[in-house]
Homo-oligomer: A and B are copies of this chain.
Amino acid sequence: MTVGDLGEFGVIQRISGRLPRTAAVLLGPGDDAAVLKAPDGRVVVSTDLLIEGRHFRRDWSSGYDIGRKAAAQNLSDIVAMGADPTALVVGLGLPADVPADWLDALTDGFRDECDLVGATVAGGDIARSETVVLGVTALGDLGGRSPVTRSGARPGDVVAVAGRLGYAAAGLALLGAGVTGGPPELVALLEAHRRPLPPYPCGPRAALLGATAMLDVSDGLLQDLGHVADASGVAVALDAAALPVPETLTAAARHLGADPLEWVLTGGDDHALAATFPSEVRLPPEWTPAGVVTEGRGVRVDGQTRTEGGWDHFRG
């Protein structure tokens, strides 16, 4: 059974049937548009386009993992503003020969990742396409909080990180070296490459704590802190010894003759959060202080300049 056998109507019914309704969804799939609660009176919205062969490969990741990852990276953008995700809408481009089972798995991946934050897929669009294309839009509610942008970091602020850093990069390096299994801690890294574990609750909580700037680490800590430095007109000085480099990463790096700190500094795809806080804020344990904001520009690690700003990865 393929998507082509199901037809558009069948595909929509099949997807809708696997998705829960949540209280935030006042009107779900099946009309011209969905209607969501936006109790704050403002809505936070972020969109990503994921294209097969560039952002994912069906022979490398299951439909389930692709769904989880696609949802995660969008939900993470919402919490990085300090908001609570309410729903996704998903435009889905599908070749006719995609198996119905794959579609089910993709849907379940979206559903399970959304479940982590109490959200769901509230609507979407189906189109035929040569390769799988996902246009994912996430919406969220600020619950009365001010959005935490990239531009509010001030000299004297503390730089802190929440969530995993370097795991996905280590997993990719292991896969590249032909490691496809092993002890649980290695498998966890392989899994991390396929599926991020964003620290969802940390985003809204950071807004409440008074974070001055925050973003989702999707391109690597250095690069993303470079965006904060650029947008805020400040410099970021990281202390390498303060960054979390767990034994899992160290062991994998030893195995590959790599430097685990580089994974932590430059690895993307984990969707950790990086934020700046006024120095007087008492950070809860999920945040690891790892540097300070200073006058200047760019990002330094142990006093050494690592980024100058002006990132570009369209050509990458």
A→B interface (CB under 8 Å): 3-4, 6-11, 26-27, 30-51, 53-55, 76-78, 80-81, 83, 87, 89-93, 96, 122-131, 133, 135-140, 142, 147, 149-151, 214-216, 231, 310-315
Contacts and interface: CB of A to CB of B under 8 A. Distances in A.
A54 B139 contact: no
The interface centre, meaning the residue of A26, A38, A41 with most chain B CB atoms within 10 A of its CB, is A38
B49 A44 contact: no
Contacts of A87: 45
Nearest to A127: B49
A135 B249 CA distance: 37
B27 A34 contact: no
Nearest to A5: B315
Contact of A43 (B49, B127, B139, B312): B139
Given A128-B54, A314-B126, A42 B47 contact: no
A47 B4 contact: no
Contacts of A136: 135
B43 A128 contact: no
Nearest to A89: B47
Contact of A93 (B10, B51, B123): B51
Nearest to A203: B32
B4 A314 contact: yes
A273 to B, nearest CB: 10
Contacts of A151: 31
B137 A89 contact: yes
Return the 10 tightest CB-CB contacts between A and B, nearest first: A135-B135, A8-B314, A49-B91, A33-B46, A38-B38, A137-B137, A32-B80, A32-B77, A7-B312, A38-B43
